[in-house]
Chains A and B, each alone.
Chain A
Amino acid sequence: MGKITRRAFIGTGLLTSGALVIGISIRPGNRAKKVASLISDPEEHVFNVWIKISPDNSVTVIVPHAEMGQGIHTTLAMMLADELDADWGKVNIQEAPAHQEYANHMMLKGFVAGDVDFPNFLVKTVDGAFLKIGKFMSFQVTGGSASVRFTGELGMRWAGASTKHLLLTAAAQKWQVPKSELYAVNSFIHHEKSNRKAPFSTFSKEASLLDAPSSLTLKTIAEYRLMGSSPMRKDLPPKVTGKARFGIDVVLPNMKYATLKNAPVFGGKLISVDDTAIEQLSGFHQVIKLDNAVALVAEGYWQAKQALDKLIIEFTRNDQDTIDQKDIFNQLNDALDKAIKSDNFTTDLELVNQEYDVLTSSSYTANYQVPFLAHATMEPMNCTVWLHDGICEIWIGSQNPLGVRAAIAELLELAPDKVFVYNQFLGGGFGRRSETDVALQAALIAKEISAPVKLIWSREEDIQHDFYREANISRFNAVLSKEGPPISWTNQFLFKHHPPEAAHIPYSIPNQLIQYTETDLHVPWGNWRSVDHSMHGFFIESFIDELANQQQQDPYQYRRKLLKHQPRFLKVLDLVAKKANWRAPLPHHWGRGIAIHKSFGTIVAQVAEVAIIEGKLIIHRVVCVADAGFAMHKDAFIAQMESGIIYGLTAALYGEISIKEGAVQQRNFNDYPMLRIQETPKIETFIINSLEKIGGAGEPSTPVIAPAVTNAIFNVSGKRIRELPINQHLLTV
């Protein structure tokens, strides 16, 4: 990062007039009153939305993203503190409240200006009419692996650097010395010549009266003190003592507890509830009818659940009640057939670069299929709402607190400034917590109760009423010459959500046709860790492996040749092969598979080592190499790689949501199983800091693991897995 100009600040909405709307550059007496709650002492000056320097010289960083376990609070704060040269031991982190002053313009800009488009899941978020600021709309969503890439690089670092600039300028004036003779270390400003040093806070007031700098220079990598290291994550201590407060842990005076039963079939509506069975129960019980669900409110969750289970509930029957999973796959295949027949596709990418002779070439086809997947966050869905005195207070762990605020304001017809969202720790997000459905239900229940209400879904509701990664199919065709690389690559599939380049390939194949069509499914769709990449990684990296085999080449060398013009990919691929000892012989009944895929700006390659012993698949080891440009918090980055691998491996091995008579069949961890400790492979992660544009950490390892494993299964057994999950297949060697 070189010099940045004031124009760039204004352009991103970070400074001066327009920027004041989102609360950047705030001084005492400023009209952005909503940040007042963050200023606990009139002596403290908020320089901009991201930062606060207290009279005791501690620095509070205000982070506009939810902490889901990815260590993002720490990482963003590190980026700012490094540029500011703050004393890390005295840096505190606060999550921004859901006010539009904190809306994540950086993320919007990143999406609009970057290599990806404005994602669909954000469109929903900004639908609320209240949140529009001119052409830019406010949102504060944690997802799309965007936090470090956009908020961090474009916001936090600049904020830290400009704050330091202001402090140094103020110190130069106060001490009457040239600014160039001053430097900052550990939250102190030093002037060597006069042997003076003073804490940042000494200059807060003067600095807050200065104009924002018109240009800045960010640190070069050699000057990083915090970035790239692994300081203790600040969210960890309360997570080992039980003190961390998740949404589900909120306690309010006189609070009631609610749980509910949703209409089993998506689209079903409530007809009637017979509650005679609970009339005799002691204690408080109240049945609340929602449009498509029945809620029961009681003194505790358990009491509510027991009573709920006694109700006799009737939901409408509708056309969808007869749909089974096989009907859905038939529907998908029919839609593709129809699109092929009528050539009614949307073209995602088309390259026509080389003519070929059909007579001397052969063509190869393969069809792939993946099931619906649920998120199954560890913390079941919940939301606490208190409606009182004309305001609505909400406690929730959300990836999208501003969206929650907008949706509830609209639902209850309240002005948005009467709706307060207090975001809590998230017991896993993975995309599920960017939805607002549970918060809306909680608000409707709270309307009927004159006390705070905590709505908790059972695990069964969570599995059966998620927003699912879709079931999908993909049909490939490749034209192969006798020797040399493939001549053409055709991939036809359904649906396109986000990111738009998910089905694109890095391989140099001269002719490419990637196209898709749509059909309507009654099963609701949602962002699932890595979104469209979660299936395209599997499709693409399986099929390329098939082509290698078809052309009788080593799958690593085959990819290598096709990546000749992609030096960044090559480096990642070569390193993973080296670290995995690609050529080394394996024990009997063991196999190796390789895969590489870029998502959210990060290239990840993996080699999986598996064994099939008496029909049982064992995943022994996964070697993972990632190039995210630069890993800001090294250990948190490695942890995210590990986490994404386990998440993707769980899905590859077991993940399957299936539909029967319109409803989800699975209910809990018995029939929607999770990978457990005894099945977990050894994972070795290596980072390449290429210093290219920063990529994401939370998602990019997920799409790679399924093909690495299925390619390894092919390697050991000759069986090509084209349909997930793997546990549907009989494996033998």
Chain B
Amino acid sequence: MLDMIALNINNKMYSIEIAPSTPILWVLREQIGLTGTKFGCGISLCGACTVHLDGQPIRSCVMPLSAAIDKKITTIEGIESVDGLLHPVQQAWLDEQIPQCGYCQSGQIMSAVALLNANQNPTDDDINTAMQGNICRCGTYNRIRAGIKKAAVVMKMDSKKQENG
């Protein structure tokens, strides 16, 4: 059954004709052309496909498109600021030279951004809880932890600046 579905992805509206049971991952990658979100396991075990649905991190490989109706999807391509600046998490990922093959990193970054949006001062345990669904086969975990802590500091400073300014 194909339906016409309206979608908000990275603040852009799309309308596509597709079976509503199709997982969000494949719609993003194949219909919309946003290939930054990755396929890793297909059964919610690796986190490579992590995107935000109304700000919450979800595994897009198992989430049907119907769940995204009237909601906002944010992908790795949608977290830079409007003027094209890297998100503090992305910048920290560069500063700490985190990626190796890089394949898992879109998912890692999306999980980290969701964590930091909800929690300005994550402890090691908070990081473990938020990030344990994301596998990195290249073993960049310690750097990811350092990157999250670094980004947390920057994001706190940014939000202070906003409050003051």
Contacts and interface: CB of A to CB of B under 8 A. Distances in A.
Most buried by B among A70, A239, A675: A239
22 contacts: A232-B97, A235-B99, A236-B97, A239-B105, A240-B99, A241-B76, A244-B102, A245-B35, A300-B22, A378-B46, A378-B48, A379-B40, A458-B42, A459-B41, A635-B97, A639-B97, A639-B100, A677-B127, A677-B128, A677-B131, A677-B141, A677-B144
A425 B45 contact: no
A39 to B, nearest CB: 29
A682 B137 CA distance: 17
B140 A643 contact: yes
A152 B2 CA distance: 54
Given A380-B40, A425-B102, A240 B132 contact: no
Interface of A: 68-71, 230, 232-233, 235-246, 248-249, 251, 257, 282, 300-303, 305, 376-380, 425-430, 456, 458-459, 635-636, 639, 642-647, 650, 668-670, 674-678, 680, 682-683
B163 interface: no
A674 B36 CA distance: 22
B158 interface: no
Top 3 closest A-B pairs, CB basis? A242-B36, A646-B139, A427-B103
A677 B105 contact: no
Interface in B21-78: 22-23, 26, 29-31, 33-43, 45-46, 48, 75-77
A647 B137 contact: yes
A302 B45 contact: no
A301 B39 contact: yes
A236 B94 contact: yes
A378 B30 contact: no
A237 B29 CA distance: 20
B103 A236 contact: no
Contact of A248 (B39, B46, B127): B39
A378 B105 CA distance: 10
A70 B100 contact: yes
A646 B141 contact: yes
B109 interface: yes
Contact of A242 (B34, B43, B135): B34
B142 interface: yes
Most buried by B among A71, A426, A428: A428
A678 B94 CA distance: 22
B86 interface: yes
Contacts of A459: 40-43
Interface in B117-159: 127-128, 131-132, 134-145
A510 B48 CA distance: 52
B104 interface: yes
B101 A426 contact: yes
A460 B130 CA distance: 26
Given A242-B34, A242-B36, A677-B144, A643 B41 contact: no
Interface residues of B, number: 56
Nearest to A231: B97
Interface string B89-119: 0100110011111111110010000000000
Interface of B: 2, 22-23, 26, 29-31, 33-43, 45-46, 48, 75-77, 80, 86, 90, 93-94, 97-106, 109, 127-128, 131-132, 134-145
A551 to B, nearest CB: 35
A683 B146 CA distance: 13
Contact of B137 (A236, A238, A242, A428): A428
Nearest to B37: A242
Contacts of A668: 41-43, 45
Contact of A643 (B38, B86, B90, B139): B139
A380 B101 CA distance: 13
Contacts of B23: 302
B138 A677 contact: no
Given A240-B93, A240-B109, A639-B97, 4 more contacts: A378-B135, A459-B42, A642-B143, A676-B135
B35 to A, nearest CB: 4
A425 B104 CA distance: 13
Contacts of A71: 100
B137 to A, nearest CB: 4
Contacts of B139: 642-647, 650, 675, 680
B101 A69 contact: yes
